[in-house]
Structure 1
Amino acid sequence: MIKKHEIYKKDKWNMMTVEVQGRYIVLREISDQWGEETHTFMSRPALMQWANNRFPKEEFVDNEDEWREIIAAFKGV
């Protein structure tokens, strides 16, 4: 069984989803800048480490609520 989580979706060109496929966690990021990127993680700690590097809190100084929502979505996976 595959469990799909939506991390964020701004429109159909800017979104991020995470699917839990057995032991694997597959993250898909679609952006109008970079196209589609897929990352596969073997554990939740690896996913969280990637998320904290991808969304550094310093970049959200003016919008800490958005950062909290994104990180909470990752923790919910």
Structure 2
Amino acid sequence: MARYSSRVRTDIARWLQVGLIDASTADALTRDVEANERKSLSFGSILAMIAALLFGAAVLIFVAANWQAIPRLARVA
């Protein structure tokens, strides 16, 4: 969503420069974009968190499966 809102802000500035909209309309559009900008997590960040959790679980399962093969000094560490 951040990329969309930055693109809209760029478009608003370009429209103002070209003369398609006046300054008050540009200000109103910019305020509307800022008010409706989502500050939540994106799908990609949620997917990355799930991947990190699954990787951590895989490491724990690997260590648990090979616990007897790990030397005693390494287990203490």
**Structures share a fold, TM > 0.5?**
no
Structure with more helix by fraction = 2
Structure number with the bigger relative contact order (C-alpha 8 A, sep ≥ 6) is: 2
The two structures have a TM-score, normalised by structure 1, of 0.35
Structure with more strand by fraction = 1
Structure 1 or 2, whichever has the larger Rg, is 2
